[in-house]
Amino acid sequence: MSDDIKIRQADGTWVVRAGGAVLGESANALELSEDGYPDVIYFPRDDIAMAFLDRSDHVTECPKKGTANYYSIMSKSRTYLNAVWTYEDPKDDVARIKGYLAFHPQDGVTVEQL
């Protein structure tokens, strides 16, 4: 694995909320640390209420992780565009994050440790 990316089991239980609603809670989250970026919590897809997510056409490329696909969060009061990303076919060095989702914290979207 690249020396500037570390993936480890996240301590404790994590929750993600959007518009006040809990989208998911997990004791099996991963924490990804990458030099120059804030740490990111990745939630197992099975621990997220996927009914609130709508796949978007947005994609980005990361030379170290691969192609990121995005989802928007559909809450009762608002849509959070491209607020969720996932690496469906990540590069070998970060294969552990396959099947996991990360959330972009913003006004109305929070990721917190319980």
Q: Could you tell me the pTM of the whole model?
A: 0.95
In CATH, what number is assigned to the domain containing residue 82? 2.170.150.40
DSSP 8-state secondary structure symbol assigned to residue 106: B
The boundaries of the domain holding residue 81 are: 5-113
Q: What is the pLDDT of residues 68-106, one digit of tens each?
A: 999 999 988 899 999 999 999 999 999 999 999 999 999
The residue type found at 57 is: D
Say whether pLDDT at 56 is over 70.
Answer: yes
Q: 62 pLDDT band (50/70/90 cuts)?
A: very high
Q: 57 pLDDT band (50/70/90 cuts)?
A: very high
Q: Shortest CA distance to 15 belongs to which of 105, 94, 107? A: 105
- Structural domain count, the chain: 1
